[in-house]
Amino acid sequence: MKTIALVETNYGNGHHLTYLRLFSQILLEQQCQVMAFHPRPRDLTDWIDEHCPDYRDRLWVFEMHKHRRRRVPILGTVPEPVAVIERWQHLTNTLAEASEETGFSPDLVFLNWLDNYLSHYLTHHVIDYVFPYSWSGIYFRPGVLRFGQRSFAKLSEPLAHYSLARSPRCQALTMLNEELVEDLQQDLGKPVIAFPDITDETPPEGDYALVQKIRQKAGDRKIVGLIGALSKRKGILTLLKVAQQSMEENWFFVFAGQLDESMFHQEFDQRFPEEFQQIKKMREDPPDNCYFHFESIPDGHRFNSVVNACDVLFAAYENFPYSSNLLTKAAVFKKPIIVSEGYCMAARVEKFRFGLTIPEGDVAKCIAALRYLCDQPEQALRELNPDFEGYHRLHSIDQIRKVFQAVISNTESPLVTV
């Protein structure tokens, strides 16, 4: 029986916790022992007790918080490479303590958010010295995309952001952006797996008060939803402008989720006060066609209830070339979605035909897309001919099982895809 350590140090009830819960369940079903690390252990143990209590005796959960970058006198925050080395060392110490408590060590450490453990200007030899375990993880936001490039060959020097994955202890790398898998694999010379962007598929809660309020205020208008953690990059300012210019349309706009004020501020960006004040003003005195709920909505039946109440989902994110499991929500609940042109999300929507793409931040094109999807929904669905089921199959729990089997066994062919 293999022992797998799952490491997730992000707080919150969003997809991070969803991933940890589902990964734990899948590995337990595959007859593994699981050592899980999370800031709030009961968020996992209570869920396992409810959903798969028969496996509880093979799960050990430990409290672990994100290791923050240190500040030193005069110099300030330590450089990122130093911080990453310290994170690996902190993880080594944490695993050693857990192993002493349980009496066994992990055969594989899987980092649910690998990005925090990677850095430019680091070779794997340093990490191999401080971290003695075999490891893998999900590379959520490939560094190559941060520089607007798609080919890993352009950044394949030894000190690239992902260079630590050259370690012989790295069994395989997984990533959500499937279009980059082959390039990265050729550069690393080891298995790289396209990781399904799964989601919690719990059926909606029929009597959820928030949904009842939304439907009451919307009346017979089509509901357009921006749901989840709300920030500038999620396109909230664009959708607010769309709402302001659509007062005469038969649409109702829902902004539901925790508002991240910090994401509106960038150094030397003088627009921050004006932009954030605009949102606050609309929240305090909302237009007739808008509803604001700036509070976190736990993933599961409540979040899914809000998704299910919408006629169209808005996910036209800005400066975001990565994956989002809101697409999986759209596929599960068969909701057309609007995304920004280019990169991963647009390619998927175009391939599976379950929504429209618009230029990033383009208010006029967004209004045109809503007229098509909201004013002629039956015709739009006939013409789009969406393959919701096909997308769902590709980003399903069953696919995750295959991924973990491949990572754990590491017996797949050099190119591993799902």
Mean pLDDT score, 370-385 = 94
Tens digits of residue pLDDT in 246-277: 999 999 999 999 987 765 555 434 555 677 77
pLDDT band at 412 (very low <50, low <70, confident <90, very high): very low
Tens digits of residue pLDDT in 322-372: 999 999 999 999 999 999 998 899 999 999 999 999 999 999 999 999 999
Percent of the chain, pLDDT > 90? 71
Average the pLDDT over each of 275-279, 296-300, 354-358, 411-415 and give the range with the smallest value: 411-415
Residue 275: what pLDDT?
73
CA distance 252 to 338: 15
185: amino acid identity, one letter: Q
Q: What residue has token string 């509070």?
A: 295
Mean pLDDT score, 88-97 = 97
192: its two tokens = 């790289």
Residue 390: what pLDDT?
97
Residue 144: what pLDDT?
59
Residue 174: what pLDDT?
94
Residue 270: what pLDDT?
53
DSSP 160: S
Residue 315 has pLDDT above 80, yes or no: yes
Residue 7 makes CB contacts below 8 A (sequence gap 6+) with 37, 64, 91, 109, 110, 111, 112, 137
110: its two tokens = 């899987």
Whether 391 contacts 326, CB under 8 Å: no
The pTM score is: 0.89
Whether 154 contacts 196, CB under 8 Å: no
Residue 408 has pLDDT above 70, yes or no: yes
DSSP 195: P
Q: Could you tell me the sign of the dihedral formed by the alpha carbons of 399, 403, 409, 414, in that order? A: positive
Percent of the chain, pLDDT > 70? 90
196: its two tokens = 């399904």
Mean pLDDT score, 151-155 = 48
* Residue 80 falls in which region: left (phi positive, over 0), alpha (psi -120 to 50) or beta: alpha
DSSP 210-264: HHHHHHHHHTTSEEEEEESSB-GGGTHHHHHHHHHTTTTSSEEEEEES-B-GGGG
> Nearest CA to 31 among 9, 46, 52?
52
Tens digits of residue pLDDT in 38-61: 999 999 999 999 999 999 999 999
235: its two tokens = 């396109």
In the sheet that 290-293 helps form, which strands lie side by side, from edge to edge? Answer: 290-293, 251-256, 222-227, 312-315, 337-340, 355-358
